[in-house]
Structure formats: C-alpha cells, structure tokens
A and B are shown apart, each in its own frame.
Chain A
Amino acid sequence: MGKTLFEKVWDNHIVDSVEGGQEILYIDRHFIHEVTSPQAFDGIRNRGIGLFRKDRIVATADHNVPTKNQHLPIKDILSKFQVDTLIKNCNEFDIELYGLGHPYQGIVHVIGPELGITKPGMTIVCGDSHTSTHGAFGAIAFGIGTSQVEQVMATQCLLLQKPKTMRITIDGELDDGVFSKDIILYIISKLSTAGGTGYFVEYAGSAIRSLSMEARMTICNMSIEMGARGGMIAPDDITINYIKGREFAPKGKEFDRAVKYWKTLYSDEDATFDKEYSFKAEDIKPMITYGTNPGMGIGITSTIPSGSEVENNVSFQKSLDYMGLKAGESLIGKSIDHVFIGSCTNSRIEDLRIVAGFVSGKKKAPHVTVMIVPGSKQVEAQAREEGIHRILEDAGFELREPGCSACLGMNDDKIPEGEYCVSTSNRNFEGRQGPGARTMLVSPLTAAVIAIEGKIVDTREYVNQQVPA
C-alpha cells in the first residue's frame, strides 16, 4: 500500500520503536528562542550533560523583543534578562544565534524558510506551536514543550506517538480579494479548534498548488489552531524555486541530488488517510473572526451565528460578551481602533507588498492606529529596498522592527482593554494582544482596507484599487 507524504518523512526518521506505541523520532533541525529555552538549558546543566548535536540548533530572539529602537538596551528588566539569558546560553553551548542586531534576526518561523534552513523531508521542532509553518515545504514540523526542547538538546530525538493522518483538499479558483489566510480561517471555522486534534494534516488540491510558498506557509502556520500537530504541503517546483540560492540551501550537485529526493515526497495515489475533507475554493470569502478562538470565523459580510443552539452555549455567550458583539449581528460598518499587520502568519514580504499595493496614495482613517511589524530583518530590508516603507509611512502606518510583537503582547506592543484590533496574526484568544483586547483575525489585504476605511467593510469591493507595489 502506498504511503502518505507524512508517513514517508516520518518513517525516514524513526530511530526505534518503544513498547506502548511510542517511537523515537530523529529531529533534523531545532529552532530555539528566548522564552521556551532557558529552563531546558538549566535542565541540561543540572544533568551535567552537553548538547548532543549543537550544529542542528539555530537560535533567534523574537517573542519578547521591543519593536522600536532595537539598537538600544531593552528597557523592560525581565525581557532584557530573558534575552540576555539566551545570549549567555548560546555562547556557553556554542549555538548559532541570530539575535538582536543580527541581519538574520526575526520571527523564528519567518527566518527558517527565508534562510533556506527549512527544507522538504526534514523533521523540524521548536518550542512554539506555530512551528507547523515549516510544513509548507513538505517537512514534518511541530511545536514542542520545554521538556521536549531539553530532550532534543540532550539526544536530538523525541519520544512520540505517531499522529493520525488527515488530508484537506481545496480545489478550484479563489475569488479576487481572497487569500491563503482566508482559506485557513475558513477551514478552521468548518472543523473547529479541536477538529484536527490527534492529526497531522496534508493540504492538497489545485487551490493549494497555485499558492506561493509564503501563502502556503500562512496555511500550515495555522494548522495548530484546529488542534492539529502540524500541516504539510507536498513540495513542487514552486517549493524548489523558492529554496534555490538561499543562504543555507544546498548548492550545485548537492542541490540537484536534494531535488531528486524532494520529488519523491508526495502522497502516493493509493495512500489512505485516517480522515479526509474537501472544500471548494469558490465557496471561500474574505474571512474575519468575531469570537475568542480562531474557529469563530465568518465570511466578512455574513452575520454572527444565532439560534438556540449557539446562544444556549455558555462559552459562546461569554465569548461574544468579551468581544462586545451580539449573536446574529453583521460586522459590516463596525468601527475599528487598531490594525496590526505582523506575526509568523502574515509578516513576509508578499504580505507587505499586498498591503502597500492597496494603501499606496491613500491615508489611514484618523482614529485608527496601524502597526506593521515585519517578520525579519531581511523582510524589513527588502521592504525598504522596494520603497514599501515610504508608501506605508505616507499612509500613516508605523513600520516597526521585527519580532512577535502584538501577536502575543509580551513586549510593550499591546492593545488597550476593550478596544478592537483587526490583526493578521493567528490567535484571537481573550487577552492575547493585551488584557481585555478584542482581536479580529483577517488577511493582510482585509487589514489594509480596514485601516484606510476605519471600519469593517467588504474587502472584495476594494480589490480593483490594488496597484502593484
């Protein structure tokens, strides 16, 4: 019987099987950052052991860094201590660190792909749930807890129970104004935040194949928001062309050999999945979330669900109360206070191009604050080279320095209590962007349109105003 893409990569990394159904999985790349690594380093020190394969670890500072004046010392004492601890640990254990001030610094899931570290067929882990992003290359990539960070540091392996497999197929053509972010928000709204629990997902179908690498990353990034351990897309020419020539990509003959192998990474025709879903691209509209988990999403012109089934659900009601919204209500026309464009979901150069392409020559609505946080130093540099920074600044958008920023509100970039933030990030949990902050997840184009209009509108009515940046 044929194998799925997931099974091919998984089987290629099994060191041994253990009683009780666990397997020892070898990990090719381990990304670490300042928040979930210090306790793991302590563990390694306490055990008196060293790192098993330090060359397989790459570090960056992203979660907790300021996005203004990164050349100055960090003001927040605790944040500074955490970032300094990462530097100290990387020095002590001789780990490659792309810290503040380094031209490669950025959000871990942005820099891995852009540096050519992320490649098809790999196993990749990081102490961050959105590690699933790297699955866009046909890698098995998933988030781990700090105890597991320590395990990988100590042995380059993890003990895992093999997840079940799911395939989600999207065929057809996307409407104008509908992006990969809308696809994934649509899928999560159909499957709910627990619909993927226990599964590793493969995204397939003509609508997925037509997407750029960056757009594919957006989809795989949010796999975790339906509970899945990760998401993958089989590598193809788009993948190969993206990797070619990048800093750490294989070169010359080695590249050709790699390509030959990468081309074997797809689900065989007779492979079976534990679960399959399929959707039509034409059914997907620009999406927005109205509640406090990413499964609570609707087409932007639709109304919030109503009826006794949802309205009798305490969690649903609590969520709407938190958001200051009502069942059955339309969001169109609702005034917005903040727009955040950033996070490992949507902070890459294509995202910034889409935003700049729309806002060029326009001005943001006076009452809205707009923060744009590029995913990496390289994205930031590219935006400057293309003149995108000027377009954004002319529109009244603030272009910051790279980091996770208001995606999780660990640094100063927080949304004030009770205010509405339309955000290109991945989580709209209560308090995610600051205590009491009300988050609505959207695509970069929808965010840009709302920033200009100051209220929620139908993105599709504005698509013709987009000019190439």
Chain B
Amino acid sequence: MEKFNELKSSVVPLPNQDIDTDQIIPARFLKSTSREGFGKNLFRDWRFDSEGNQKKDFVLNDPLYSGSILVAGKNFGCGSSREHAAWALYDYGFRAIVSSYFADIFTGNALNNGLLPVQVSDDFLKEIFNKIEKDSNAEIYIDLKEQLISVVSTDLKEEFEINAYKKTCLLNGYDDIDYLISKKKAIEQFEQKHQEF
C-alpha cells in the first residue's frame, strides 16, 4: 500500500447524497479478476451514455474540474461491499474522498487501499461546495498527521477523525495482513480454547 502523509489538490465536486457502490462501479464491470483497470468504468452510467459517449453534464467530463480529491454528498459509498469501488476511485486517480458521512464498509475498503476518507461536518462540506462553485480551481489541503483539512488560501479548516491504528498504517504504508500475520501465535492459542458449536 502507498503511504499517505499529506495531499494538496484541486477537487472534483459531486454533491449528490447517498452515492452507492453501484454508481461508483456498476456490477457488470466487476468481471475482472485483477485489482487494476476499474478506473475507466468509474461512475460509468453517469459518465457515459449507452453508446459510450461522454455525458457532457457529468462533472468528470467537465474540463473545469480535476484533481485527486473527490468531494461528495452525505453517505458516500453505501451499498455493496465491493472493494472494486475503492479500487476504481484509486485507479482513476483519486487519493482522498471528502464527505459528511461514509458507509462503514466503504470506509474500511478505502483505508485498506490507501484512499483516505475524510469525514467533515455538514457545514464544512457546504462551505467547500460553495467555494468550488465560485472558484473551480480552489484547492484543498489534507494533513493526515495533524488530522486537518483546509481550503487553501482561506481560513476554512476543520479537524477530522481517524482510527489511530489506521492512521499509522496509512502514514507508513502498512496493511492489516502484515500485522495479523505477526499475531499468528496468539491466534493459534485462541483456537485451542475456542469452541464452536
């Protein structure tokens, strides 16, 4: 997993609420057996029509907006457990998602892939959207160590929460498996006394 320390980037705004994993990557594109290449079908049915032509009104097709931070409406990533959603966002080039609420499984999947979900207050989210509406080049700065998100060259800033263990993993590029494997002894000991009916 790539390390994540800090990130400064212009942003892509997607104010829709309840963006579910079927929108992020529709099921019919889940037939690949590798982790790569899902970015081209990210938000497939919002981005392209049935003939594969770009839909002009969708933000990813709007030359005004670009960057590695996606700012999305409340309850981002609800729906299925498909990690393909996190892979698709990452593969497309996003490194952080900002929203006022994230679905649980999505949060876990994102963190396991070096994609940082930054949960901000509803008000702060609104302020970011307002700012981007006025200036499409507005930049956001995310400092993981300080757990701080700010809108560059404004005094808009907010602290965000992240699980301390997950934060260490991201800062160092570790994943859970390495850690769990190092605990094998304890797991085997647990199995000795664990009874399953």
Asked whether, in the complex, the Cβ of A24 is within 8 Å of the Cβ of B180, the reply is yes
Minimum distance in angstroms from B116 CB to a CB of chain A: 15
In angstroms, Cα B108 to Cα A163, docked, is 13
Asked whether, in the complex, the Cβ of B33 is within 8 Å of the Cβ of A429, the reply is no
Minimum distance in angstroms from A108 CB to a CB of chain B: 12
Residue of A nearest to B80 (CB): A129
Asked whether, in the complex, the Cβ of A127 is within 8 Å of the Cβ of B81, the reply is yes
Residue of A nearest to B178 (CB): A47
Q: Mark A369-395, 1 if CB is under 8 A from B, else 0.
A: 000000000000000000000000000
Asked whether, in the complex, the Cβ of B32 is within 8 Å of the Cβ of A78, the reply is yes
Q: Mark B8-40, 1 if CB is under 8 A from A, else 0.
A: 000000011110101100111011111100000
A212 within 8 A of B: no
Using a Cβ cutoff of 8 Å, how many contacts connect chains A and B? 206
B196 within 8 A of A: yes
A340 within 8 A of B: no
Minimum distance in angstroms from A50 CB to a CB of chain B: 12
In angstroms, Cα B182 to Cα A47, docked, is 14
Asked whether, in the complex, the Cβ of A155 is within 8 Å of the Cβ of B80, the reply is no
Minimum distance in angstroms from A280 CB to a CB of chain B: 27
Contacts A22-B163, A157-B180, A159-B176: A145 and B26 contacting too (C-beta < 8 A)? Answer: no
In angstroms, Cα B180 to Cα A151, docked, is 8
Minimum distance in angstroms from B18 CB to a CB of chain A: 5
Asked whether, in the complex, the Cβ of B20 is within 8 Å of the Cβ of A197, the reply is no
In angstroms, Cα B21 to Cα A361, docked, is 41
In angstroms, Cα B15 to Cα A315, docked, is 9
- CB interface residues, A 244-302, toward B, < 8 Å: 250, 254, 257-258, 261-262, 293, 295
Contacts A151-B180, A154-B177, A429-B79: A121 and B105 contacting too (C-beta < 8 A)? Answer: no
Residues of B contacting A52 in the complex (Cβ-Cβ under 8 angstroms):
184, 187
Residue of B nearest to A86 (CB): B33
Asked whether, in the complex, the Cβ of B18 is within 8 Å of the Cβ of A155, the reply is no
Asked whether, in the complex, the Cβ of B83 is within 8 Å of the Cβ of A147, the reply is yes
A110 within 8 A of B: no
Q: Mark A1-41, 1 if CB is under 8 A from B, else 0.
A: 00000000000110110111110101010000001101100
Minimum distance in angstroms from A34 CB to a CB of chain B: 9
Residue of B nearest to A24 (CB): B183
Asked whether, in the complex, the Cβ of B31 is within 8 Å of the Cβ of A315, the reply is no
B136 within 8 A of A: no
Residue in A121, A194, A435 whose beta carbon sits within 8 Å of that of B75 in the complex:
A194
Residues of A contacting B166 in the complex (Cβ-Cβ under 8 angstroms):
20, 22
B104 within 8 A of A: yes
Contacts A148-B108, A155-B183, A197-B103: A39 and B75 contacting too (C-beta < 8 A)? Answer: no
In angstroms, Cα B80 to Cα A145, docked, is 9
Residues of B contacting A410 in the complex (Cβ-Cβ under 8 angstroms):
27-28, 30-31
Asked whether, in the complex, the Cβ of B197 is within 8 Å of the Cβ of A258, the reply is yes
Residues of B contacting A43 in the complex (Cβ-Cβ under 8 angstroms):
177
Minimum distance in angstroms from A240 CB to a CB of chain B: 11
Residues of A contacting B191 in the complex (Cβ-Cβ under 8 angstroms):
26, 156
Residue in B33, B109, B187 whose beta carbon sits within 8 Å of that of A38 in the complex:
B33
Asked whether, in the complex, the Cβ of A147 is within 8 Å of the Cβ of B31, the reply is no
- CB interface residues, B 51-88, toward A, < 8 Å: 73-75, 78-84, 86
Contacts A410-B28, A429-B22: A435 and B45 contacting too (C-beta < 8 A)? Answer: yes
In angstroms, Cα B17 to Cα A47, docked, is 39
Minimum distance in angstroms from B25 CB to a CB of chain A: 11
Contacts A147-B176, A229-B104: A28 and B26 contacting too (C-beta < 8 A)? Answer: no
Residue of A nearest to B190 (CB): A15
In angstroms, Cα B28 to Cα A63, docked, is 10
Residue of A nearest to B110 (CB): A145
Residues of B contacting A224 in the complex (Cβ-Cβ under 8 angstroms):
105
B134 within 8 A of A: no
In angstroms, Cα B197 to Cα A119, docked, is 7
Minimum distance in angstroms from B104 CB to a CB of chain A: 6
Residue in A63, A427, A436 whose beta carbon sits within 8 Å of that of B79 in the complex:
A427
B153 within 8 A of A: no
A81 within 8 A of B: yes
Instruction: Add 11 more A-B contacts to A129-B81, A154-B177, A197-B103 (CB < 8 A).
Output: A12-B194, A26-B191, A36-B82, A42-B34, A82-B33, A85-B33, A121-B197, A194-B18, A197-B75, A315-B17, A408-B80
Closest 9 pairs between A and B when the two form their complex, measured CB to CB: A20-B165, A20-B164, A145-B83, A38-B33, A258-B197, A143-B81, A145-B109, A78-B31, A147-B112
